[in-house]
Every structure is written in C-alpha cells, then in structure tokens.
Amino acid sequence: MNKPIRPDNDAERLAALRAARLLDTPREQAFDDLVNLAVAVAGKSMAAVSLVDEDRQWFKASHGFDTCETPRDRSFCQYAILEPHRLMLVEDAEQDERFAGRLPVIGGKSIRFYAGVPLLDGEGMALGSLCVFDSVPGTLEASQAAALRALARQAGHVIELRRVTRALDQQVRESTWFERELARYAELLERQNAQLAEQARTDPLTGLSNRRAFSAALAVEIERANASGSPLSVALLDLDHFKSINDVHGHVEGDRVLAEVGKVLQAHFAAAGVAARYGGEEFALLLPGTTLDSARAQCELLRQAVGTLPLGAVVSASIGVTAYRPGETYASLLERADEALYRAKRDGRDRVESKA
C-alpha cells in the first residue's frame, strides 16, 4: 500500500478530532448500537466507528473484532476522509491498486471488502468513518448504502450532542438557549432512533416487514386469538422457479420482481394483516380474524394478481395456507403452512393449497 495523501485540511481536522474528546474514551452504548445496526443492514461480518488520528485509526466502537487501533497508513478510512461527502466502497481490495498485495488486517483477518461513510462534526470536519468490512469480497445494494449513510448521520448527531452537552457543562446551566438546543438535539435523536428502529423491522428491497417483525406480530396475534377465540390464519407464498428468473433475466430483474410482488402484497394487506418477506423469494402472510376458507379465497386473489404482473419475466406463486389451532405453538402453525406450500409446489405450482 502506498503512503496515503492526507487531506489538505488535516491539521484543522485533527484539531477538531481532539476537540471532540472521543479518542481513547470508554465504549458507549450509542456508538455500539450504531455498529450493531450497520452489521444488520449491510449483512457484513464486521463494523466500526473509526477515528483517524495522526498516525493511527482508533475504534470508538466495533462489532466482529477486538482490535482497538491499527496504523493509519494501513487503513481504508484514511482514504474515506479524503472525500467527506461520499461513501467509499471497495468491493475487492485485491483488485484495488491502493491495497493490492498489502491488504489491511483487522482482528487478525485480511480485509477484502470495505464500505465507509465519513463521520462529520458540526463544522463538516471528517473525524473518521462509520464502516462495514469483511474478509471476503462483496458489494452493497442501494438500500444498504442509504441505510449506512443514515447511520453515519446518526453518529454525527451523537458526536454533536456530546459537544453540546459539554458546552452546557462549561457554561451557565440555566441558559434558556442551551436548554432549547439540548431539547432540539434530543428530539432529533429520538426521530432518528425511530427511523432506525423502523429500518431494523423492514426489508429494504420490498418495503415489507422482515422475518423478525413478522415473528413478533404473529406472537401477538396468537396471544390475542387465545384470549378472544377469534380465528387466525397464516400463509406462506413462494415465487415459482425464481432461480431461473435470476439466471435468464439477471439479478436486477429478479430484484424488480421481488419489489413488484412486495407492492402487490402491500396493496392486499394495507387494511388488515401483515405481509413480510420471509427469506429469499418466500413471503409470509398473517391474517388475523380470518377463517381458513376466507384466507384461502384471499390467497387465490393474491395468486392471480401476482400472475398478471406486467414484468419481463413470467411470474407465478405457490401458496400454502392454514388456520391457527387454539393452544398450538408458533412453530407447529408455520410447519402446517409450510406443508400446504410444499403440496402446492409438488402438485404443479401456481396454486393455493390449504391444511386445516
């Protein structure tokens, strides 16, 4: 790796970094939460809040490794801060002339993939980056990159809040202006946390609930059904021959198919129920207050809607639907829905099968 070119304002940047009073400080939950969310949304094995000091990068928070710092001239983040308003993406460091033959090593692992968004203070100085990385090559979807940028903005807000809090400690605590500033930043953080929580429950490609959110919703509805005796149905939907869509039309078209099916599901369940991307090309449907016969009829309409989507690829869906039995477990309910789905696929696909 060649010695990096430092930003023209590196002296001012380093002064801002030291003024932030983050270097060599204990771990803080706010930063730990951000790196944990970064790993979840990006699907990589490691993440960090990295601060680029004079001769080192120091990790304020980390996930997936225990290293506290590495040399600055062996880091990706030294390059990320050269362009403070852009996400830096290295899909395979071995193919990048800056790193080929001398890969950065973190936690004992040679790093091949890196994506980092510069962390900016209130004056726009790049103090470091919020980054995700892995020991194997990879990439980011557009939605994952957008989520990583949102997390970096959140980290910037946390840093700015710390600055405001210190200013409050140093100046007159009773100052109305400072109280208003603190309230404003607290409100901003609350909104950001609410947005991040929503991202953690949502599949970024389809906009539907993800598997975790579906599981939580199903647990609530099972408890409600046991208490009230009201009916409850669950369905699993699988797109037929989806691998061939990716193979013939490409993954971009495959993603478009998933996104369009997501829109159909959102339209069908906007008033009641929950639709979720359960994994890959499989979707889960929660229909509270719905009998098995009614759920089957709804799924038949849904199957027909999927089959008429105006897409370049021919799309069809197999659906298995079942109804909750009072007192049964979450696992057994989904197992019967899966058995009905298997029968639908076995008997020719593009159909709805139910199991009482």
| pLDDT reading at 248 higher than 90 | no
Mean pLDDT computed over 101-130: 92
**Helix segments in 239-283, DSSP class H:** 242-249, 251-268
**What 3-state DSSP class applies to 45?**
coil
Res 196: pLDDT = 47
The confidence band for 197, taking pLDDT boundaries of 50, 70 and 90, is very low
How far apart CA 234 and CA 291 sit, in angstroms, is 10
- pLDDT, one tens digit per residue, over 252-277 is 999 999 999 999 998 888 667 899 99
Res 185: pLDDT = 62
How far apart CA 315 and CA 264 sit, in angstroms, is 13
How far apart CA 76 and CA 132 sit, in angstroms, is 11
| pLDDT reading at 1 higher than 50 | no
**What 3-state DSSP class applies to 59?**
strand
- pLDDT, one tens digit per residue, over 89-99 is 999 999 998 88
Neighbouring residues of 40: CB distance < 8 A, sequence distance ≥ 6? 200
How far apart CA 249 and CA 291 sit, in angstroms, is 39
- pLDDT, one tens digit per residue, over 48-79 is 999 999 999 999 999 999 999 999 998 999 99
| pLDDT reading at 43 higher than 70 | yes
Res 191: pLDDT = 65
The per-type count for the chain, helices as H runs and strands as E runs, is 10, 13
Res 93: pLDDT = 94
How far apart CA 52 and CA 77 sit, in angstroms, is 7
Q: What are phi and psi of 179, to 5 degrees?
A: -60, -40
In order of their start, the domains of the chain are 10-200 (3.30.450.40), 211-355 (3.30.70.270)
Query: Which residues partner with 106 through β-bridges?
Result: 109
Res 172: pLDDT = 59
Catalytic hit among 141, 179, 260, 281: 281
Question: In the annotation, is 281 catalytic?
Answer: yes
- pLDDT, one tens digit per residue, over 2-38 is 566 799 999 999 999 999 999 999 999 999 999 999 9
Mean pLDDT computed over 165-190: 64
